[in-house]
Amino acid sequence: MLQQLAENIYYYEIPGVRSVTIAFIVGSGPVYEPDHLLGISHFIEHTAFRKTKKRTLRQIKLPIEQVGGILNAWTDKESTVYYAKVPSTFFKIAFDILRDMVFEPDFLEKNVELERKIILQEYYAEKEIPEQRLFNLFFEKLIDGPHSKSTIGTEESIRRISKEDLDSFHAEMYSPYNVKLIIAGNVNSEDMKILKSLNLDEGTKTAKHVSQLKEGIVCDKFEESQQVHFLFSHNGLPLSNEDALYPSMVLNTLLGSGMSSLLFEKIREKKGFVYDISTNNIQSKEWGVFSVYAATSKENTEKLSKELFDLFKNFKLTKKLFDYGKNRLLGSLELVTESTSALTSLYIQYVANELPVRTIDDIIERVKSVTEAQVMDAFEMMIRGQWSLAYVTPDDELKIENDDIRV
């Protein structure tokens, strides 16, 4: 059962499990960064693992890892998330470590320089991965707005960021009111009393930003790639549009989730054009993009594109396909209820985007109520019309025009 314990603090109790997942969500990401400090949210996330005011690197990691737990963090366009999963009996230790990392990091000069080297290696590594180049190309060239900014930053900004910059940006962005906490699992009431020491209702919080998809076809030539990687994209639905949100989830599932989905069966199993093909909703509170990812050999590129858009143009929602999408989505939601980490990930999306926090039972009931007509309405919004395309190729640009990717 989901409970809001205090301002910005949520607890989902799962009786009977022996683990707990804890996540601090900070409203800090590249959408809020000045260009000359691009990547600073990611830099702070990295460096927070090195030292806090009370703990050394070893004292941060060892207490969680020595009991089989997981300690990690990530930065996306609008948020930085610090999380841990541990046996329930170690909840207080994991909570205290995460709280230190979020609110009391100690950015020593030597640690800043060490992390700068590591982040630069991460930056260079991304340049060698075709899929990463593809998504970087998509955001940089086809998104109009602050979400086009790189999470990791540029080589120049990574080299420029200083200890003083980290201290200043952390003080500005890690205000208690800009931080949210989600706990999922089974924690005894005595251990939960530690939350009384946490006050997340003071200070300021960041405002949500809006971006939009641009029309066009953009290419990145990367000779080391063995395949052509495609990301077809179309205006999607924002998370705040709840009337259309759940039908869009069913549509996404029936089109591109699992080996029985429409695109997998038609384009991989029957045509053999790809090894994998999938769909995804890239969503924030006030904007969204629906995308199709696929990779294929050069000789199949135009066949793949034609087959995909012929499927969309001739799409018919059969009862069999509708039932597959709805039942698969419902089943995946049921499975979420048994995993503390999966539940936390689900609620991060709601909490980070300041949406009404639905219980998992409420979400399931809303999916159950989705009709075939509503899915077709979502299809009209998410599929019909002009698409955009980003692709990475080892050879010359492809002969694909805007008219070829219009439904």
* Mean pLDDT per 10-residue section of the chain, whose length is 407 residues: 89 94 97 97 98 97 98 97 97 98 98 98 97 97 97 98 98 95 95 92 80 97 96 96 95 96 96 95 93 95 95 97 98 93 93 89 96 98 98 93 96
Rounded alpha-carbon distances, angstroms, from residue 285 to 201, 210, 242, 319, 347: 21, 8, 10, 31, 14
Instruction: Please report the pLDDT score of residue 202 as a whole number.
Output: 76
Instruction: Please report the pLDDT score of residue 311 as a whole number.
Output: 97
Instruction: Please report the pLDDT score of residue 206 as a whole number.
Output: 80
Contact yes or no for 400/389 (Cβ under 8 A): yes
Instruction: Please report the pLDDT score of residue 309 as a whole number.
Output: 97
DSSP structural state of residue 218: E
Please identify which residue in the block is written with the tokens 């939601």: 333
Half-sphere exposure of 200 (CA within 13 A, CB side): 24
Instruction: Please report the pLDDT score of residue 205 as a whole number.
Output: 77
**β partners of residue 294:** 230, 277
Please identify which residue in the block is written with the tokens 């020593």: 108
Helices (H), ranges, 55-146: 57-65, 91-103, 109-126, 130-142
Contact yes or no for 34/165 (Cβ under 8 A): no
Cα dihedral across residues 362, 365, 369, 375: positive or negative:
positive
Instruction: Please report the pLDDT score of residue 70 as a whole number.
Output: 98
Question: pTM of the entire structure?
Answer: 0.95
Please identify which residue in the block is written with the tokens 């979020």: 102
Secondary structure element (H or E) that encloses residue 234, with its range? strand 228-235
CA–CA separation, 233 vs 22, rounded Å?
Answer: 33
CA–CA separation, 407 vs 388, rounded Å?
Answer: 11
CA-based nearest residue to 247, from 370, 383, 382, 379: 370
Which amino acid would we find at residue 231? L
Domains of the chain: 2-197 (3.30.830.10), 212-405 (3.30.830.10)
Instruction: Please report the pLDDT score of residue 56 as a whole number.
Output: 97
Q: What six digits make up the tokens of 251?
A: 């549509």
